[in-house]
Amino acid sequence: MKISVSKVVITFILIFTFSCQKGTEYDFERTILKVNNQQFEVLTAWKIFEDYIKNRSDYNSNLFVKIKNEFNSCAEFSSLIDAIKQEIEPDNELEKEIEIMKNLDFVSIVDTVYQKVTKELPGPDTKILFIPANPAYRNIYRQYGVGLHAFSPGTGRIIVSLDPTFENWQHMLPYTLAHEYHHSVWTSRNFETADLTPLEYIILEGKADSFADEIYPITDHPFINKIEKIIEKRVWNLIKPEMNERNTNINDKIFYGAKDIPSGSVYAIGFNIIKSFKANNPGITDAELIDMSPKEILYLSKYDD
């Protein structure tokens, strides 16, 4: 059978063109640690981000979806992943963040933090992703004096969005990792519904902040110490009528802020309820407190007296 040379050349060109168009699929960089009989998997996404910048590809399909697929499976609070859904421009500011972060030893940071944290509160095997923060949010970060945003979408899952151009990220990161780890452990032991009542939400954040503060005290926390007592009392009185209701917009108001409610109120009130609880119940440890019901904690705290 005689094969046309021209057909072979055309076929080769088509195959080559298709393979170039498809491009290379990059995975996360992964390192596994064993810390006090628990496994921690540290993830970064340098190759994924660098490919995104180089090709100026679609953020949703080439970046966000990869992160979502990695962390979404069976995640109890999967909607939290949408916090990083906003497109990050593939510009010089993003490149600068990546170059700085590539030289940071996140594996050592995770190891050091959880050597302490897991001794106080054992928990599930945990996967932690470090990604650059959206430079578009830099002014908001400066407003609150933080250079990072982190969340736990469920059991054994933590995502840290970090802007390394902020001087205080090293100060805040250990505290943040302890805080989000507490959420992960609480979820593994107590999750029933993602539709938390305002009281459940406040106590959840209060427990996590108090736990983190015991290990990594931060005197200049941007939210815990932000609200004056008279304002805190006013906000609490606004919350109380709906504090045991589900499907309410109070949770958004005490996080983002609203008329007469400062942003971050959930952290200030939650921390102070737990602070009052610990003062009145010194024999109860964080390892015991994590499983106590919000109503019981509020009652025993005497915060509302």
* Residue 261 DSSP one-character state: B
273 touches 202 (CB < 8 A): yes
pLDDT of amino acid 23? 60
User: Please, are residues 295 and 199 in contact by the beta-carbon 8 Å criterion?
Assistant: yes
Mean pLDDT, residues 94-100 taken together: 95
Average pLDDT over residues 218-239: 88
pLDDT exceeds 80 at position 255: yes
pLDDT of 75 higher than 50: yes
More confident residue, 202 or 7: 202
> Exposed, middle or buried, 206 (CB in 10 Å: 0-12/13-18/19+)?
buried
Task: Tell me the pLDDT of the chain averaged across its residues.
Answer: 91
**Mean pLDDT value across residues 131-140:** 91
Task: Summarize pLDDT for 157-195 with one digit per residue, the tens.
Answer: 999 999 999 888 888 999 999 999 999 999 999 999 999
Cα separation, 26 vs 47, whole angstroms: 6
Residues in the chain, overall count: 305
Tell me what the mean pLDDT of segment 17-31 comes to: 71
Mean pLDDT (whole number) for 196-211: 98
- Sign of CA pseudo-dihedral 158, 164, 169, 174: positive
Surface-to-core class of residue 163, CB atoms within 10 Å of its CB (0-12 exposed, 13-18 middle, 19+ buried): buried
Q: Is residue 222 predicted with pLDDT exceeding 80?
A: no
Residue 36 CB neighbours (<10 A): 11
- Band of pLDDT at residue 20, cut at 50, 70 and 90: very low
Query: What is the reported pTM?
Result: 0.91
What pLDDT, on a 0 to 100 scale, did the predictor assign at position 272? 97
